[in-house]
Structure 1
């Protein structure tokens, strides 16, 4: 393999353009081509980076251009079709989230990548958010997780509902943190703009007892992307939007907790209002190394290509997230509201 990886972006919408921009500047990478059925849009992006433009993947492969890897950033319903052309041609692929519109499509892509010995990474960029990277060093054993991901409507991903569009980021991270099979899913949601849900809440219970409560909305007037995690040993707060977070550990506060217990037991504290909780608790800000998540994601992808190692977000991870997302949307569809019919 050449030291320079020839990369292609299929689909030059918003995410595709982010990928093109980063491939063009990552050391050891060359943006060789962009592909879009809207050839005029592809040519415009290609002109910005001095690469080739094609209308279809078939045209790309027939051109004889050397292609090492590709980002697939077309609408979700077309992910499998594009993957089934690229992977057998020997191309490693990073497929934007969600991996596919159904479990069957996702499984087919995972199996295809294994059959041809290709890297399949899924574009869950929140895994590469500097705040997410920062809390990796802690041994996290969550018992309760609460997530809010809300934003104004952008009308970009109306081909899927808010669960597959936005909540799926958090379903992936929660799955990754809890590492336990799902025992129960409860969910509600409402479609306001189109036929798919725009607001949703899911309560997940895992077999190990952990509970996760997730809320997603694309009809909010502000943007918020936060996770709060509770465990016997720590409390973790993450703000994905601000790329920041803080952590309170039991060990760092054991001395203060022990002192309060002794004071209470000895009757020296009779009114808890005497205590200033904010002065009792020691917290630590997460040590953030700022980076653009898409760039970090692509660098990780290309490292996997060179080493043939397992990607940070594998096809199996993407499949698990879609499987859970579909269980959530099924619950939403089955939920009955008095005097209200949707979907």
Structure 2
């Protein structure tokens, strides 16, 4: 049985704990501990799931763990992840993989050195609509992809205070576009600004234009200014166009003759992601989102930030 833990039980970390708890019913996973600096929150969630509470995450290293989810602020990713990796514990680390390219490289190098599974939580890769779109792209149903356009906008949230919209939101679509294009970004240009975010150093609007090595172009608009959430992705190909709605998990394809609505088995992407991670650890399989994938997304996001600052 795979012994797992979660470090960081804010909104996202709570969902990791909830899903591991649900997976226990299958008998393949045991959630053995949770850790958070907020002791009241920690005790509340640990009591809900009937597991041990650890105010110091390093105490989890003595629990004979097989795997851990790291769901702490991005600037803490390397500091928290490395002790587990060095002890041979596989890690699912929330996106972005790290706060700097150097820290991401160190995480990846240590995972390779210690022969552990490292997966990065780019959860939209596990959205059933994205996976269905990937199937159609690979079958050539859209022809050659020309452009991809994503919109990820919504209202201001105080929950994310340590990152602007490029590292927090756009990185989702940066990764999905690379996944669908099966290519790395070659050039990136971005415009960004702070309109009303209380942290003056955090942009709450950005427009990113990228060009991939295989000549596909991508446009991403993100903000925390729009009163309602929108999460969409459109792809234009030489044979047709696809419209994807991330939240509703809907996919519609148009060609010269037909309008087709894809049949999609709608599931919770995070549950699919965590179940996949568990399977990779149990069977020593390469995850769908590797450390290198996380690094590539982070590099593009950082280059977009530099571009938006005139660098």
Into which bin does the TM-score normalised by the smaller protein fall?
A: over 0.9
Residue 295 in structure 1 maps to residue 271 in structure 2: yes
Residue 18 in structure 1 maps to residue 21 in structure 2: no
Q: Is the contact between residue 94 and residue 121 of structure 2 (CA under 8 Å) also seen in structure 1?
A: yes
What is the match of residue 208 of structure 2? 202
Distance in 2, Cα, partners of 1:294 & 1:181: 25
Structure 2 counterparts to residues 10-89 of structure 1, below 5 A: 10-26=7-23, 27=26, 28-61=28-61, 64-89=62-87
- What SS does structure 2 have at the residue aligned with 1:160? coil
| Moved >6 Å (runs of 4+) | none
Query: What TM-score results when the alignment is normalised by the length of structure 2?
Result: 0.93
Query: What TM-score results when the alignment is normalised by the length of structure 1?
Result: 0.85
Structure 2 counterparts to residues 1-343 of structure 1, below 5 A: 4-26=1-23, 27=26, 28-61=28-61, 64-138=62-136, 139=138, 141-192=144-195, 193=197, 194=199, 195-249=201-255, 253=256, 281-334=257-310
Unaligned runs of 5+ in 2: none
Deviation string 1:233-280 (CA, Å, 9 cap, x unpaired) is 23111000111111124xxx4xxxxxxxxxxxxxxxxxxxxxxxxxxx
Q: Is the contact between residue 134 and residue 180 of structure 2 (CA under 8 Å) also seen in structure 1?
A: no
Q: Is the contact between residue 9 and residue 19 of structure 1 (CA under 8 Å) also seen in structure 2?
A: yes
- What SS does structure 2 have at the residue aligned with 1:334? coil
Question: Once the 2 structures are TM-superposed, how far is the Cα of residue 212 of structure 1 from its aligned partner?
Answer: 0.7
Distance in 2, Cα, partners of 1:6 & 1:180: 35
Distance in 1, Cα, partners of 2:55 & 2:240: 52
- Max radius of gyration: which structure? 1
Question: Once the 2 structures are TM-superposed, how far is the Cα of residue 86 of structure 1 from its aligned partner?
Answer: 0.6
Question: Once the 2 structures are TM-superposed, how far is the Cα of residue 210 of structure 1 from its aligned partner?
Answer: 1.3
- What SS does structure 1 have at the residue aligned with 2:309? helix
Deviation string 1:307-339 (CA, Å, 9 cap, x unpaired) is 11110111100000000000000011117xxxx
Q: Is the contact between residue 165 and residue 222 of structure 2 (CA under 8 Å) also seen in structure 1?
A: yes
CA RMSD of superposed structures (Å): 1.3
Matched positions, count? 300
Q: Is the contact between residue 142 and residue 177 of structure 1 (CA under 8 Å) also seen in structure 2?
A: no
- What SS does structure 1 have at the residue aligned with 2:34? strand
